[in-house]
Structure 1
Amino acid sequence: MRSPALRQVVPNADPREAHVAAMIDHLRRHLIAAQDRDERFHAIFLDRRNAYLGDAGFGTGCGPSLSLRMRELFARALELGTAGIVVAHNHPSGHCRPSQIDIAATRRLQAVGAALDIELLDHLVITREAVFSMRAGGLL
Structure 2
Amino acid sequence: MIQQVFKLPEQRRATFARQQRELVELLRAMVVGPSGSCERMHALFVDNARSYLGDTPIGNGAAGSLSMRIRELFQAALSVDAHGIILAHNHPSGLCRPSAYDIEATRKLKAIAQMLDIELLDHLIFTTGAVYSMRAGGQL
**1:95-134 correspondence to structure 2 within 5 Å:** 95-134=95-134
Secondary structure at 2:19's aligned position in 1? helix
1 CA distance for matches of 2:63 and 2:131? 20
Aligned to 1:81: 81
2 CA distance for matches of 1:27 and 1:106? 17
Letter in 2 for 1:86: I
Aligned to 2:5: none
Cα contact 2:63–2:93 (8 A) shared by 1: no
Aligned to 2:138: 138
* 1:41 maps to 2:41: yes
Aligned to 1:3: none
2 CA distance for matches of 1:69 and 1:127? 23
TM-score normalised over the length of structure 2: 0.88
* 1:61 maps to 2:61: yes
**Larger RCO (CA under 8 A, 6+ residues apart):** 2
Letter in 2 for 1:70: I
Q: CA deviation at 1:37?
A: 1.0
* Runs of 5+ consecutive residues of structure 1 not aligned to the other structure: 1-12
2 CA distance for matches of 1:46 and 1:98? 24
Letter in 2 for 1:90: N
- Name the count of aligned residue pairs: 128
Cα contact 1:113–1:120 (8 A) shared by 2: yes
* Runs of 4 or more consecutive aligned structure 1 residues displaced over 4 Å after TM superposition: none
Cα contact 2:58–2:73 (8 A) shared by 1: yes
2 CA distance for matches of 1:90 and 1:18? 22
Q: CA deviation at 1:18?
A: 1.1
Secondary structure at 2:67's aligned position in 1? coil
CA-to-partner distance for each residue in 1:93-114, whole Å, 9 max, x for gaps?
Answer: 1110000000001001100000
2 CA distance for matches of 1:81 and 1:66? 26
Secondary structure at 2:58's aligned position in 1? strand
Secondary structure at 1:82's aligned position in 2? coil
* Runs of 5+ consecutive residues of structure 2 not aligned to the other structure: 1-12
Secondary structure at 2:121's aligned position in 1? strand
Letter in 2 for 1:14: A
RMSD, aligned CA: 1.0
Percent identical residues: 49
